[in-house]
Amino acid sequence: RNTWSRVKDLMPERQASLLHRNFWALKPSCGQFGRGILLIDRLPEDPGQLLEWAAAVGRGGLKGGNDVKEGVVLQKLIEQPHLLDKQLLGNLGNLGNPAGDSVSGGKFKYNLRMIVLATLRSPCRIWLYNEGFVSLALCPFTSQLDPLSHITNLRQGAGYESQRRWPIRDLDSYLAAKGRPSFDDSFRPQIERIISSLFYALSLHPTSLLPLDPCDETGDMGRSAAGKKLRRFGFDFLIDQTETVWF
């Protein structure tokens, strides 16, 4: 057995599989639609160089000039994600629509978009919407550092198929066709644990990022910093080949 296999067996809690091939996404802290994302397979010795790289790629437009000031997000990529057969997914999604357009084949990386409603008060009250959707990359997955196959929220361009999003119920049909556990049995419990842990971490002092004002005895939760009692968030999750959910 090789050294890599021994490391994975000896230290499963170290998430050694994430170190394989060492792929990273460097993105502007205020980016959107996948703009300004740089895929890299190595890290610089000086962390400050990450800002220079991000500024060199840039988001374009009026906000691009602030990239070097606003900081960046460094995110570890999952090199072996769970992939969806786009043709099968499309066929399952069109079962109730015989006139639906055909979908070309290929296995695609995807993300799960789930919607959360939260009070941002102490204690936090969180609701997870039942519905969500999967968003596929523009091109079939490759082990190369190709943004079109790794980044799932790039804005649609000319020459690509129109449908890249499918509702959770179509993903559920896909999992059933593959003989896998349902979304509610496999993915949803993991998503709920991640969201609960996230809001708990954000509420911890002294580094709390939330305007956590205690509820009074009348049950009036007050208003958040944005002037609303409730806030809605969209969270994106990735699934690896072992069907483990990552945030």
pLDDT digits (tens, 9 = 90+) for 168-187: 999 999 999 999 999 999 99
pLDDT tens for the chain, residues 1 to 247: 455 455 556 555 555 555 556 788 888 776 566 667 888 888 787 877 887 777 776 655 445 556 566 677 888 888 889 999 998 988 887 654 444 444 556 899 999 999 999 987 777 889 999 999 999 998 999 988 888 899 888 765 555 656 788 999 999 999 999 999 999 999 999 999 999 999 888 877 765 655 555 544 444 444 444 445 788 999 999 999 999 999 8
Q: Are 109 and 136 in contact (CB under 8 A)?
A: yes
Would you call 183 exposed, middle or buried from its count of C-beta atoms within 10 A (0-12, 13-18, 19+)? buried
10-30 pLDDT tens trace: 555 555 555 556 788 888 776
- Which phi and psi angles does 50 have, rounded to 5°? -60, -40
pLDDT at 92: 83
Strand pairing partners for 238? 246
Task: Give the number of other CB atoms < 10 A from CB of residue 106.
Answer: 16
Alpha-carbon gap, residue 227 to 223, rounded angstroms: 5
Pairwise CA distance, residues 239 & 2, whole Å: 27
Question: What is residue 70's predicted lDDT score, i.e. its pLDDT?
Answer: 67
